[in-house]
């Protein structure tokens, strides 16, 4: 896992992994974010998947996610991509609409908690 100057992508505590909130940009690149909710959701969840796997777990072991959306109208688009990552037995989830995120153009941010199997 690469470390940002102000946060860790994920922190292990016992048998749990807590991911930091992820945005729809590709880590380590300067590529612009996709402008669609579907594209940003897919990239966010790919970023989370990489963190979870680097932490010794899998997306199947994700227990809880929190989704922060900047527009309630994007809920269905986000949810359609979210289902691709958890087509069966999805983790618990809270979804909150917020006024803004820290990156211009970001439509959502997602953080997750995953179990680390022994």
User: What tens-digit pLDDT sequence spans the chain (118 residues)?
Assistant: 443 447 899 999 999 999 999 999 998 888 889 999 999 999 999 999 999 999 999 999 999 999 999 999 999 999 999 999 999 999 999 999 999 999 989 999 999 999 999 8
Residue 49's nearest CA partner among 36, 38, 35, 60 is: 60
Report if residue 4 sits inside a domain.
Answer: no
Report if residue 5 sits inside a domain.
Answer: no
Q: How many domains does the chain have?
A: 1
Interatomic CA distance for residues 95 and 110, integer angstroms: 9
Report if residue 2 sits inside a domain.
Answer: no
Report if residue 58 sits inside a domain.
Answer: yes
| CATH number of domain containing 40 | 3.30.1330.40
pLDDT score, position 3: 38
Residue 45's nearest CA partner among 102, 53, 105 is: 53
Does the pTM surpass 0.95? The reply is: no
Domain that holds residue 38: 10-115
């Amino acid at each position: 896992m690469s470390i940002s100057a102000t946060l860790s992508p994920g922190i292990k505590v016992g048998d749990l992994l807590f991911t930091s909130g992820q945005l729809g940009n590709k880590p380590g690149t300067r590529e612009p974010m996709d402008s669609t909710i579907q594209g940003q959701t897919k990239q966010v969840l790919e970023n989370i998947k990489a963190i979870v796997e680097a932490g010794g777990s899998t997306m199947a072991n994700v227990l809880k996610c929190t989704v922060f959306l900047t527009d309630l109208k994007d809920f269905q688009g986000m949810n359609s991509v979210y289902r691709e990552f958890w087509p069966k037995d999805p983790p618990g989830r809270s979804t909150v609409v917020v006024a803004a995120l820290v990156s211009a153009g970001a439509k959502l941010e997602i953080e997750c908690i995953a179990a680390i199997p022994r």
